[in-house]
Amino acid sequence: MSISANDAGNLALGTQSLEKLRLQAKQSPDQALKGAAQQFEQVFLNMMLKSMREATPQEGMFDNEQTKMFTGMLDQQLAQSMSSGQGVGLAAVMVRQLQHSSMAGVDPKADAVAPSPALKNAIPSAYNENFQQDFVKKLMPHAEKASSATGIPAHLMVGQAALESGWGRREIKMPDGTNSHNLFGIKAGASWNGKVAEVMTTEYHNGVANKQVEKFRAYDSYADAFKDYAGTLSSNPRYAEVLKQGDNAQGFATALQKAGYATDPHYADKLNKVINSVNTLA
């Protein structure tokens, strides 16, 4: 779908609006990002409505330039109304994706983006959750094998793998671009003798997010990744409470955070939400 000159004009960005965004970019980059994303959502919705109008035959007395002009104005106003406030979710998805992106590499701790119900209902073709189902189907056999060794339900482990890897879309890469198969963001400490991948990640110090390069373990396969993950949880005493949670997703997520698995202060809440998503797909 290309953007014509008329469509670009529908962004409703006058000189004052552009200057406001430029000023926000200097003073508050996050607010500027949200504003730009909302404007993009507005023009996307307007283009969608326009495409729907063009696909509908217009004959008789309504097939004239004046009617088309007023219909276009109505569609523009409707798109502006739909994108205001919470919108349909497209702007929020763009903001989360861009805020978690890294110019120097991938961030294995980035929040996995769950589909917005409003976005899926308003624009069915704008979001495709098949990759999530494929992710669960591909990894569940490895999770079930690891489950037999640790007692941790398979769907909880798949949920953590989904959070850490962004449903497989932000997996840690080796220097040559190949897959490290590290689905769980396990770092390579002094005791690790295997392959290593170095990437930029987000770590929290006293609640403040910082970007830094870290070394992560690399495996030959997903099976090896799950085997090492299971061994890490079952052999390290600090994860004893994690192993006691059974099928309690919230308890599992909370115990992992308390054990220091991740530095993100919101890790438990994020993990619990992703596990719930896995339950709907499994």
Same domain, 189 and 238: yes
Q: Between 154-165 and 249-258, two packed helices, what is the crossing angle to 10 degrees?
A: 60
Please count the other Cβ atoms lying within 10 Å of the Cβ belonging to residue 194. 11
Band (pLDDT 50/70/90 cuts) for residue 171 is very high
Of 66 and 40, more confident:
40
How sure is the predictor about 209, in pLDDT bands with cuts at 50, 70 and 90? confident
Residues 71 and 195 both lie in one domain: no
Residues 88 and 192 in one domain: no
- The verdict on 145 and 245 lying in the same domain is yes
Helices (H), the chain: 5-9, 15-27, 29-55, 65-83, 90-100, 117-122, 130-150, 154-165, 222-235, 240-243, 249-258, 267-281
Residue 268 shares a structural domain with residue 143: yes
Q: Which domain holds residue 257?
A: 130-281
Intra-chain end-to-end CA distance of the chain, in Å: 34
pLDDT tens digit sequence for 221-238: 999 999 999 999 999 999
Q: Per the domain annotation, does 83 fall within a domain?
A: yes
At 7 the pLDDT is: 44
Q: Are residues 151 and 96 in the same domain?
A: no
Residue 115 within a domain:
no
Beta strand extents in the chain (DSSP E only): 195-205, 208-218
Mean pLDDT of 131-159: 93
Average confidence (pLDDT) over 200-220: 88
Q: Do 184 and 276 share a structural domain?
A: yes
pLDDT tens for 252-279 read 999 999 999 999 999 999 999 999 999 8
Residue 269 known to be catalytic: no
- Domain boundary (85, 100, 115) is at 100
Active-site choice (41, 75, 111, 228)? 228
pLDDT, tens only, 238-247: 999 999 999 9
Please state which of the ranges 29-43, 57-71, 95-109, 185-199 shows the lowest mean pLDDT: 95-109
Per-residue pLDDT reduced to its tens digit, 84-137: 666 666 666 666 666 554 334 444 444 444 444 544 444 443 344 688 999 999
Q: Residues 7, 129, 144, 203: which is the catalytic one?
A: 203
Residue 55 in this model has a pLDDT that exceeds 60:
no
Q: Do 73 and 156 reside in the same domain of the chain?
A: no
Do 146 and 274 lie in one domain? The reply is yes
Query: In percent, how much of the chain has pLDDT > 90?
Result: 44
Question: 262 and 190 in one domain?
Answer: yes
Rounded average pLDDT over 67-77: 66
**pLDDT score for 30:** 63
Residue 112 is assigned to a structural domain of this protein: no
**In a shared domain, residues 150 and 197:** yes
Name the residue with tokens 């926000």: 24
The pLDDT score that the predictor gives to residue 11 is 42
Q: What is the pLDDT of residue 281?
A: 83
Q: Is 129 a catalytic residue?
A: no
Return mean pLDDT, the chain. 76
Report the CATH number that the domain containing residue 264 is assigned in CATH: 1.10.530.10
Strands (E), 3-103: none
